Amino acid sequence: MAEALFYHLTAQPLERALPDLLERTLARGWRAVVRCGSAERMEALDTHLWTYKDESFLPHAATGCAAPERQPIYLTTGGEIPNEADALFLVDAADTTDFTGFERVVIMFTDDDEAALALARTQWKRAIESVKATYWQQDDGRWTKKRESEAPSE
């Protein structure tokens, strides 16, 4: 059964938190799609994931690449899932109405974007109707579980 993880960014920007979560995703042997709220954010993340650490990078490609089905991480602003992703990441107020079909749907949002915060609340309500959901918040640089929903009845 899929689960939804809500990550409330209060101590780190997306550019620091997302690569760590993507590394964990790949370590599980999973593929990911990162759905961005804008083309500008997608382009910035595309560059960032190649250079965020001196000693490593995250293999990925963005919309318009050759062979998107072969990409371990695929960046997009649309609804396509060409790489049979196990995890869907939603950033910068990107949305989904379907939390099924993935092992995880990860929603990342900050306090400084009221629209993204309001959307995250709506997404929480949607998520708990179909999957188990967990809300995480950064406390002193560490993630702390603040809330967890029950798995819905079949």
Q: Give the mean model confidence (pLDDT) for residues 51-60.
A: 88
The pLDDT of residue 141: 74
In angstroms, the CA 15 to CA 23 distance is 13
Residues comprising the chain, all counted: 154
3-state SS, residue 44: helix
Q: Nearest CA to 22 among 66, 67, 65, 75?
A: 75
Q: What pLDDT, on the 0 to 100 scale, is given for residue 36? A: 97
Contact 131, 99 (CB under 8 A): yes
Measured CA to CA, the distance from residue 154 to residue 136 in angstroms comes to: 25
Helical pair 39-51 and 14-27, crossing angle rounded to 10 deg: 70
State the pLDDT at residue 116: 87
Convert the pLDDT of each residue in 125-152 to its tens digit.
Answer: 999 999 999 999 988 778 999 999 987 7
Nearest CA to 33 out of 2, 99, 92, 77 is that of 77
What's the mean per-residue pLDDT of the chain?
93
The pLDDT of residue 139: 82
Q: Say whether pTM exceeds 0.75.
A: yes
pLDDT reported for residue 2:
87
Residue showing tokens 């809300």: 135
| Rg of the chain in Å (alpha carbons) | 15
pLDDT digits (tens, 9 = 90+) for 58-101: 999 999 888 999 999 999 999 999 999 999 999 999 999 888 88
DSSP 8-state code for residue 102: S
Q: According to the model, what pLDDT value does residue 154 have? A: 59
Top pLDDT among 152 and 37 is at: 37
| pLDDT tens column, 10-33 | 988 999 999 999 999 999 999 999
